[in-house]
Amino acid sequence: MSDLITTTVIIATIASGIRLATPFLLASLGEAIGQRSGVLNLGVDGVMLLGAFFSYYVILETGNIWFGVVAGILTGLVIGLFYAIVTVPLRAEQGVSGIGIYLFGLGMSDLLFQKLVGTPLPIDQFDEWHVPMLSTLPVVGEMFFQHTPMVYIAFLLVPVVAFVINRTTFGLSVRAVGESPESADSLGVSVSKVRFTTIMIGNALAGLAGAALAIELGIFQQNLTNAMGFIAIALVYFGAWRAPGVMAGSLLFGMIGAIVLQAKTLGLIPRSASDIAAMAPAIITILVLIIVANRFRQPAALTKPYVRGD
Amino acid sequence: MRNYIIAAGIATASVCVALAFGAIMLLALGANPITGYKTMLTAAFGSAEGLSSTAVKAIPLMLVGVGICIAFRANVINIGGEGQMVMGGLFATTVALALPGAPAIVLLPLILLAGMTGGACWGAIPGALKAHFNVSEILSTIMLNIVAVQFMNFLLRGPLIDPGEIERGTRIPQTQRLPEAADLPMLSESLNLHSGILIALLAAILAYVLLWRTGIGFRLRSVGLNPSAARYAGIRVKRNIVIAMTLSGAMCGLAGAILVFGSESHRMVTDGSSMGFTGSAGFNGIVVALFGALHPLWTIPSSFLFGGMLVGANSLQRVAQVPSALIIALNGLIVVFVVSTEWHRKRLQNRPPKLNTAMHGTGKANGVQV
């Protein structure tokens, strides 16, 4: 059995783990931005589904993968605007309204797919883009520098998000609004504007995550995400609301997925054991949540609508 | 009285907006919205058969809805209905398979109890995690949904699979025909209506009594309304959070058990997802409860309405080729509309009568129930 696990297999597994982590990473980076400003978006899974569908449909019709990427982002922006209106001026309970968005995305993506496409036709996928020089490195090159563009986009967004949140005026406003909207408001920061912006960015990234998933799989079907969006939300807690932490969580989940997949392909584990293995991410998440809940504090104004006192 | 009118008005408006959106969707899909809605109404409420299917669809919605009411009243958001239903179904199925020779009078109460126990355990875990480890119940219930589904897939593909499936080599992940003694008694053979509806109605009434006529209910609602005040009054907040989630889970588990033993195949089957087993009742029950203003008794008509929508959607799919997924999307919109209007409803309801406005000139009293 041990001769099945060769260096090639290990390299391939790690590379596929990075690929599988990509949609998680995009969605949870977006969710993290929203949560830093005090807004919980439980609808990520629904936004991902709609983003995945529109991206799939556009690619199917136009044959251009980048158009599909843009379609995913636009879908996210439209739903983001809707969710922002519901959350900010209308002050809906965020623990529940997000479930409404999820159900809407789940039903709508399925409905549109059945009506507009019907039979699942495969779409074009991105070719791998080998980073010049780096991709020729032994082992490391194959693991990290021979991926599709979506993978690079997702991982490059990690330092970008970290920089914006920690080192820019906008990021300072986001954190202020998430921790103490009253103080931010008294200093002239518009709580509504900041939250509208973060919700739109967050949903755009969720739409992009859906697009990444559809392009990676080259297909769309009912409930394509299978609760990935919900795991992405948990990954934000996992990563203690910080971009590098979120990345670590996404990679861990991607790797678990890749290892299970690889073990199944190699016939190392029977089908029944893979059902048990599929529980692992959820159980690990719960255990991590227990640790995180007592070590890190969530943004103080998370899920609390802001009402200006008189 | 005025408060009821405001609440009913806002709920009706929410549904109207969602239905208007549905009408636009129907138009876009090339169906006539008026005939479309008429088809749905007739299918769901126009005949004895229709009403009976509506009632059967309403059972899990009602039970989950009642469970959601209990949790939300204690200010705990239970999104784990799906997983709790699955665990309830699994517990009940296991008990029935373990006691193949037991008479109905023993087996029936046992499977219902087993279902409640399964759901209660699956609800107690996130309750305890919230109370003692400060873990958001929203996240832990979602994670436990995933765990429950995989556990169901594991059991139905392995230990609990119908031996016949292995002999034939088809390996459909389902149990054997469960003992006939565990079949829920039929109220009407011709209409295919089983007694699960009576159990659900009874549960709704008992939940009402529990919440508004007992000490437990008083404490749960106190914790939900103001945990600090409740603690000051000597109510153990943590313990009541666990109780609320356990009771909520028990209701969902009961729904799961009834789904299995009221099903036409009398087997527990999985298609790999929780939706395949629950029909998304764990989520739709939230819609039902919100629409029923988180009141167990209002959950009864609310569940019939949404059960009817499911039945209507199926016939719409047959008649007008409109995928029934439309209803899931509409349910989502209704949730969003109901919670979007919630804050404004409270403001309207708590506005003091005209005469008193002079006394509360600053408007600070708006948040206080008068």
State the complex-level ipTM.
0.88
Q: Give B351's DSSP letter.
A: S
The whole-angstrom distance between B262's CA and the closest CA on chain A is 26
In 3D space, the residue among B151, B331, A152 whose CA is nearest the CA of residue A144 turns out to be A152
Of B144, B157, B286, the CB nearest to A96: B286
pLDDT value of position B320: 83
Core vs surface per residue B107-130: b (16+ CB within 10 A) or e: bbebbbbbbbbbbbbbbbbbbbbb
Give one DSSP letter per residue of A64-129, joined into a string.
Answer: -HHHHHHHHHHHHHHHHHHHHHHHTTS---HHHHHHHHHHHHHHHHHHHIIIII-S------PPPE
The distance from CA A83 to its chain's CA centroid, rounded to whole angstroms, is 17
**Nearest-10 Cα torsion for A62, A67, A73, A79:** -30
Instruction: Take residue B269 and report the two structure tokens written for it.
Output: 């089957």
pLDDT at B369: 37
For chain B, which ranges sit under pLDDT 70? 1, 351-370
Helices B296-320 and B325-350: crossing angle in degrees, nearest 10, is 150
Q: How far is CA B369 from CA A126, B217, B331, B352, B353, in A?
A: 59, 20, 31, 8, 11
Q: Do B328 and A110 touch (CB under 8 A)?
A: yes
Percent of chain A surpassing pLDDT 90: 57
Name the token pair of B322: 């409109």
B336–A237 C-beta distance less than 8 A: no
As a whole number of angstroms, the distance between CA B40 and CA B45 comes to 8
The pLDDT confidence band at residue A139, using thresholds 50, 70 and 90, is: confident
Give ∠ CA A174-A305-A96 in degrees, rounded to 5. 110
Q: Looking at residues A157-169, what average pLDDT do you find? A: 96
Please state, in angstroms and rounded to a whole number, the distance separating the CA atoms of residues B129 and A117. 44
- A227/B340 touch (CB, cutoff 8 Å), yes or no: no
Q: Which of A16-20, A262-266, B282-286 has the lowest mean pLDDT?
A: A262-266
How many percent of chain A have pLDDT more than 70? 98
What is the full DSSP assignment across B243-280? HHHHHHHHHHHHHHHHHHHTSSS-S-B--SSHHHHHTT
A92 closest CB neighbour out of B29, B327, B342: B342
The one-letter amino acid at B265: S
Nearest to B94 by CA among B86, B105, B83: B86
Are A92 and B334 a contacting pair at CB < 8 A?
no
Instruction: Return the higher-pLDDT residue of A56 and B9.
Output: A56
Interatomic CA distance for residues A222 and A193, integer angstroms: 35
pLDDT at B302: 93
**Chain B residue with the nearest C-alpha to that of A297:** B134
Cα(B339)–Cα(B105) distance, rounded to whole angstroms?
Answer: 44
Nearest CB partner across the interface for A271, out of B157, B283, B335 = B157
Q: A93-123: per-residue pLDDT in tens? A: 888 899 999 999 999 999 999 988 888 888 8
Q: Give the single-character DSSP code of B174.
A: B
Q: How many helices (H) does chain B have, and how many strands (E)?
A: 15, 2
pLDDT of amino acid B358:
41
Tokens of B368: 């206080």
pLDDT recorded at residue A264? 79
Q: Supply the DSSP symbol for A146.
A: E
CA B195, chain centre distance (Å): 18
Please enumerate in sequence order all residues whose Cβ is within 8 A of that of B224, keeping only pairs 6 or more positions apart, or say none.
B72, B73, B74, B75, B76, B244
Neighbours of A92 (CB within 10 A): 25
Please state, in angstroms and rounded to a whole number, the distance separating the CA atoms of residues A45 and A93.
18
pLDDT at B56: 95
Contacts of A108 in chain B (CB under 8 A): 325, 329, 332
In this prediction, residue B190 carries a pLDDT of: 87
Q: Quick one: pLDDT at residue A3?
A: 63
Query: Distance from B102 to chain A by nearest Cα, in Å?
Result: 30
Give the nearest partner residue to A310 out of B283, B327, B363, using CB atoms: B363
Chain A residues close to B143, C-beta within 8 Å: 230, 234, 282-283, 285-286, 289
